[in-house]
Structure 1
Amino acid sequence: MNELQLSLLGLGVIAILLVVVYNRWLERKYRKTHDPEPEVPTPLDEMAIGERQEPSWDGADPLPTRGDVEPGARIGDDDPSAGAIPEPLPALSEVEAWVDAIATLRFYEPRTAGSIRDTITQMGAGRFDRIECYTGDAWHQVDKLPVEALVSNIRCRLQLATRRGAVAPDALHEWMRAVESLAQVLSAGLSVESESKILERATNLDAFCARVDALINLNLRARETATVGLDIAATLTDLGLYGTYPAFARLSASGEVDFQIVADDAQGMLSLTLDYPHVNRPDLVVSEMLALAKTLAVSLEADIVDDAGRALDDNGMALLAHQVVRLSAALQAQGIEPGSLLARRLFA
């Protein structure tokens, strides 16, 4: 190697070092001169409101209680400064990559989780919806890592649809700008789909959800209105349901709601409702709900009717059960298991 080549090589090394130092200087300058931006609502809160009716329990009704069911521990209770690396997130599935828009940021050299969290806080954490970090050969939620953990990649995720509809174009645009700004501030390489492709995926996802979503509902209409009230409450409690009049629920072994039962004194009605995407093995649960309806119809001297007040015989109830089986199969065909965390957040 001659003297000219050595000189050129030395100049190249110096140029690279200058670029790295300049990027670090820009980052420090940004942090010192920019106050934290006020957090804006999470993009999911800005989703377009669809015309579908969201199956949900009326917030005015009391929630069911179950004395022997312990509430699950909150992940957020972990102290990220404790130093221990938390349990990693499950591997990203193909269906999650369909449900979420994903932007990947790659660092040229690792950064600490603490410095990344500080930057995200300064920029406004609500702009990013969900952020995960890659460290120790696994992905973790950014707020669960100890401050000194070294991170080589960041994954920003935005859910593309809920029961309220597909993500709004403005919300997606704001998320994209936030991700691009984060990559610039952290001097990271960015990989993400175009907005047009993401919006197309969101529209297709929302259309699929609308096709497979349903609220399974049937009613018991008392022949004598005197049977409603405390008599119903005592009967439901004896049958192992939880809650206080007029709202009850049948709970699973893990304490999750299988189906809901709400009494309407004014109409002399008792409504049984199954939100099947939120339930494990909805094919079994709907059969148990129908069996309970028959038991209650006998004990309360009531007729089983649909929402239009038409009588439901065994054939009609069999059609309801078949509908649940068919819709569950369509959901599973796309890799979404009813009752899973993914199904719960998609049909929220």
Structure 2
Amino acid sequence: MTDLQMSLIGGAVVFVGAVFVYNKWQEHKARKSVERAFSSEHDDVLMRAGEAPAPVPATARQEPSFELGSGGRGGDSGDAEQRYEPVVSDTVIGADDVVAPATEQATSLVDPLIDCLIPLALENAVRGDKILPVLHTLRHVGNKPIHYIGLAVSGEWEPIAHGGVYTKLQAGVQLASRTTALNELEYSELVTRLRTVADEIGAEAEIPDMIDVMAEAKTLHRFVAGHDAQLGVNLMSNGAPWAMSTLIGALEKQGFDVRPDGRFAMPDGDGGVLFTLSTNVTLGADTTSHLTLLLDVPVVAPARDGFGSMVACARSMVARLDATIVDDSNQPLMDEALGEINGQVLEFYQEMEAADIPAGSIRALRLFS
């Protein structure tokens, strides 16, 4: 037998083997698809839930652009609203539309302005209680939270919940935090782990381009860094230092809540914090002669007048504690200077509103947490 004949026979054997393996792979793939489609869990749920609605057309991913100029000012608010209205069904929800509570929760969890949105296309409708344990395995990359929402059979996006049935899913990873922007390593980890999650729940992740995501993350972080403002008002004793045992009682009467770290928090009346106070000494200290009231500006809504409330509190404590309101250099802060600062706070609020991230909003609380 010649070498040519041997080569032809060998090639034929390899070809037949390849065809056999390919057919087995196709058979396995088809069997898994059938098992998923006709498993008892899917069948029972869909029979109870009724027919799922037609799929919602995919929408183009929105890319944030804050148009930062000198001083960190936001871009045109009208343009921002036009680009970043969240898609929650077949239509875009506008400011005058009535949005269901579940949809509001969904758009606050996976927000196209501050999150990288990653659609997860499902082969079949899935139950929330079946996929939640898998989704819970991927909740953070670095210090960036990951949230998930689903398109329910009712036709509305909502947070994934037990008892829900979903025809589409979306994951969202926050693009920036107070400290850092989403980086390449975090995004690579997200993509790798999210593909594993998608395989386990029978979905396919539509991964956005890393270059675009990194550009958005850096832009958003520049905005956050430029608006990470905290304002302090100090009280200095006019005489002897205050005894801590007496001071704590006076602060509690003023309305402050004591924190485990030794700070005091002024409640806003709705479970949040309006501003805080530090005694500027360690927990074991017996006295202090210097108090600092601190307002975290971007996390307090303008309607609460956080700066005005903080100044009013300081003025009330001046008489109670025999103190003087001073700046960080211990120079007295006159009413004129406090008025100028208040004007700057109002401008700050306008900048955040123009960027569609109002101070005290869910977006601001997520970014400045």
Per the normalisation by structure 1, the TM-score is 0.68
Identity value in percent: 21
Work out which of the residue numbers 266, 272, 275 in structure 2 matches 1:259.
Answer: 275
Equivalent of 1:291, from 306, 309, 312?
312
Partner of 1:203: 218
Q: Specify the code of the residue in structure 2 equivalent to 1:125.
A: L
Measured in 2, the distance between the counterparts of 1:243 and 1:120 equals 37
Amino acid at match of 2:338: M
Counterpart code for 1:24: S
Contact 2:138 2:193 in 1 (8 A): no
User: Shift of the alpha carbon at 1:248?
Assistant: 2.3
Report which of the two structures shows the higher radius of gyration computed on alpha carbons: 2
Structure-to-structure mapping, 1:1-348, within 5 angstroms: 21-24=30-33, 88-90=102-104, 92=107, 96-120=111-135, 124-126=137-139, 129-135=146-152, 136-142=154-160, 144-146=161-163, 149-243=164-258, 247-264=263-280, 268-281=289-302, 284-348=305-369
1:225 Cα offset (Å)? 2.6
Structure-2 change in CA distance of 1:227 and 1:179 (3 Å): closer
Name the CA distance, whole Å, in 1 between partners of 2:198 and 2:263. 49
- Determine helix, strand or coil for the equivalent of 1:102: strand
Pair 1:247–1:150, CA change in 2 (3 A): closer
Which amino acid in structure 2 is aligned with residue 111 of structure 1? V
Q: CA deviation at 1:26?
A: 10
Q: In 2 relative to 1, CA 120–270 (structure 1 residues): closer, same or farther, beyond 3 Å?
A: closer
8 Å Cα contact 1:282/1:338 also seen in 2? no
User: SS in structure 1 opposite 2:171?
Assistant: strand
Alpha carbons 1:106, 1:189 under 8 Å: kept: yes
Q: Name the amino acid aligned to 1:314.
A: D
Unaligned runs of 5+ in 1: 1-16, 29-85
For 1:316 and 1:214, how far apart are their aligned partners in 2?
18
- Using the size of structure 2 for normalisation, the TM-score is 0.65
Unpaired runs of 5+ residues, structure 2, are 1-25, 38-99, 282-286
Deviation at 1:227?
3.4
Distance in 2, matches of 1:300 and 1:120, equals 53
Counterpart Cα distance in 1 of 2:310 and 2:140: 42
CA contact 1:283–1:321 (8 Å) conserved in 2: no
Higher mean C-alpha deviation, range 183-192 or range 291-300: 183-192
- Give, as a single letter, the amino acid of the residue that structure 2 aligns with 1:88: A
Report the 3-state secondary structure (helix = DSSP H, G, I; strand = E; otherwise coil) of the residue aligned with 1:166: coil
Q: Which amino acid aligns with 2:333?
A: L
1:268 is matched by which residue type in structure 2?
A: S
Give the Cα separation in 2 of the matches to 1:301 and 1:185. Answer: 66
What RMSD in Å do the two structures reach over aligned CA positions?
3.1
Q: Which has the higher contact order (CA 8 A, sep 6+)?
A: 1
Q: CA 1:155–1:259 in 2, change beyond 3 Å: closer, same or farther? A: same
Which has the higher mean CA deviation after the structures are superposed, 178-187 or 330-339? Answer: 178-187
Whole-angstrom CA distance in 2 between matches of 1:213 and 1:226 = 32
* Worse-superposed segment, 235-244 or 170-179: 235-244
SS at match of 1:277: helix
The CA deviation at 1:305 is 1.4
Q: Amino acid of the residue matched to residue 313 of structure 1?
A: M
- State the match for 2:79 in structure 1: none
Q: Distance in 2 between matches of 1:114 and 1:244?
A: 37
- Whole-angstrom distance in 2 between the partners of 1:228 and 1:312: 24
Alignment-mate amino acid for residue 138 of structure 2: A
Deviation for aligned residue 1:153:
0.7
What's the secondary structure of 2:221's corresponding residue? helix
The residue matched to 1:167 in structure 2 has which SS? coil
Q: For 2:133 and 2:242, locate their aligned partners in 1 and report how far apart those are by CA, in whole Å.
A: 61
